[in-house]
Amino acid sequence: MRIKPGKTTRARKKRIFKLTKGFWGKKKNCFRFANEAVDRAGRFAYRDRRDKKGTFRRLWITRISAITKENGLSYSKFIAGLKKAKIEIDRKMLAELALCDVNAFGKIIELAKQ
């Protein structure tokens, strides 16, 4: 008597189809296309989890740069001034200060100018 792989196959397909929920067209209900779509989506997700860190850093730098330009200072000179003044605040916190507490950020800019 031969053993049929029904249970295993069904479980594998079920797992793939669960991941394709919300996909468009054949990619959600045809196993071959669904499998390819899940592989591709997984590769993009892996890559973008790493890219997200750079994306946020660029956003913070843009925000900081905009505020420093209003105060007559370039971003690079501002960062150099912070390093000389031995102020160790990361870009995320600087961007948050620039958005929420403009007065405190203004004081930091004055310290960086000196």
Give the tokens for residue 27. Answer: 């990619």
Proportion of the chain above pLDDT 90, given as a percent: 76
67: which 2 tokens?
Answer: 């505020």
Give the whole-number percent of the chain exceeding pLDDT 70: 100
Q: Which of 94, 112, 110 is nearest to 56 (CA)?
A: 94
Mean pLDDT of 24-37: 95
Mean per-residue pLDDT for 98-112? Answer: 90
Task: Using the predicted structure, report yes or no on whether residue 113 has a pLDDT greater than 90.
Answer: no
Is the Cβ–Cβ distance between 98 and 65 less than 8 Å? Answer: no
pLDDT in tens, 46-95: 999 999 999 999 999 999 999 999 988 999 999 999 999 998 889 999 99
The whole-model pTM stands at 0.76
- Which homologous superfamily is 7-113 in? Ribosomal protein L20, C-terminal domain (1.10.1900.20)
* Residue ranges covered by each domain of the chain: 7-113
